[in-house]
Amino acid sequence: MVEIFSILKAQFLDHHISLILMGITILGIGLFTYSASHIFLDFIEKICGHLVRKYKKANRKSNISPRLVAIIQSKHQSTVTKAKTVSDSFRWLIPEILLTSVKALIVFSIVAVLGLMIGTLWLKNIGAAIILAFLCILLPGQYLSRQDLRKQEKYISQFPIVVRTFLVALEQKGNARSAISYVAERAPEPSKSLFQTILLKIDSGFEPKLALKEITKEIKVSHAHLFEQLLADAYYQGTTLIPQFTRLAGQVDAMNELILENAQTTHAGRIQNFIMHFLVVILAVMLVRVLPESEKYLTQEIGGRTIVLLTFLSVLIGIIFDRMMSKVDA
């Protein structure tokens, strides 16, 4: 009876482990396919744009039908719109560098293959190998995304100062151009560089509304859109918008307090998550060193292989959760 129960238990574990492996494999293949297709679509977009420009130029010199050019443009725009919709849905998980660089995609793919080989040949665990390959893609992207997140945190923390500085300058100088110049001189980095870029574009002949688009490109908070719109309107309405800027300054202060409270909670969770996974790795290495027979258990026995698989899976879930929290912070 005990032997029958053991056989059924082993079959049950094998069945569920195979389902988990299948799901993880599909997830990894989907990530790679999505990244490769995104780069391919960007390449197609450039080619289509080049062809459209050639058709337009040829249309001026020959009798090519304008309708043909319109059809090409509409199909091209439809492809770009669909690609951007899919991209925006999963962009929070995919490392940004994979979507912008073919070299990075190749390097990450090679590292992922190495991780797959380590998991297969050393750990002798296909599931852990697949997760390790997945982690080899996410971990470098996680490190690189930290640079952008730190810059974004600086922008958000400086946003109330920037709004109030502009408000004071608008009250004193009476026009938006001088107020932006004042902010570009007095604001701390990186906001200082942002407003210097805006000022340079305006002085180069850009429309103020187009130049001010840089604000929402860099500052990823909802009030940045309102600030951008008010700045554009201030070019034509001047000091009449001071009450609106005053209300915006109060709203930004309240928003910043909420962001700081949320950041404290999520940062604590991230640190705890990192420490737990780091300690698990140390414990596993010490266990193999002190008890060499434990390596056989972890690489050959069903129970040990399940433990290894769940450990790697917990690291993967931790990284995905951390990226979700990063998206919430932003």
* Count: domains in the chain: 1
Within-domain flag for 99: no
Within-domain flag for 200: yes
The residue ranking higher by pLDDT, 147 or 27, is 147
What is the per-residue pLDDT for 30?
56
Which residue's structure tokens are 């197609």?
44
The rounded distance, in Å, linking the Cα atoms of 231 and 148 is 25
Within-domain flag for 306: no
Each residue of 208-245: pLDDT tens digit? 888 888 888 888 777 888 888 888 888 888 788 888 88
Give the domain range for residue 210: 153-258
Lowest mean pLDDT among 116-120, 141-145, 215-219: 141-145
327, pLDDT greater than 70 = no
The residue ranking higher by pLDDT, 280 or 73, is 280
Within-domain flag for 224: yes
What is the per-residue pLDDT for 215?
87
Each residue of 80-112: pLDDT tens digit? 555 555 555 555 566 666 666 677 778 888 888
Asked if residue 113 lies in contact with residue 297, where contact means CB atoms within 8 angstroms, the answer is: no
Give one DSSP letter per residue of 11-25, joined into a string.
Answer: HHHHHHHHHHHHHHH
Within-domain flag for 204: yes
The rounded distance, in Å, linking the Cα atoms of 284 and 307 is 11
Within-domain flag for 135: no
- Side-chain half-sphere CA neighbours of 84 within 13 A: 7
Q: Quote the pTM value.
A: 0.51
Each residue of 266-318: pLDDT tens digit? 555 555 566 666 666 666 667 667 777 777 777 778 877 888 888 788 778 77
Within-domain flag for 251: yes
* DSSP state letter for 188: P
How much of the chain, in percent, has pLDDT values that exceed 90?
Answer: 0
**50: pLDDT confidence band, cut at 50, 70 and 90?**
low
Give one DSSP letter per residue of 106-149, joined into a string.
Answer: HHHHHHHHHHHHHHHHTS--HHHHHHHHHHHHHHHHHHHHHHHH
Within-domain flag for 232: yes
27, pLDDT greater than 70 = no
How much of the chain, in percent, has pLDDT values that exceed 70?
Answer: 55
The CATH number assigned to the domain holding 157 equals 1.20.81
What is the per-residue pLDDT for 61?
46
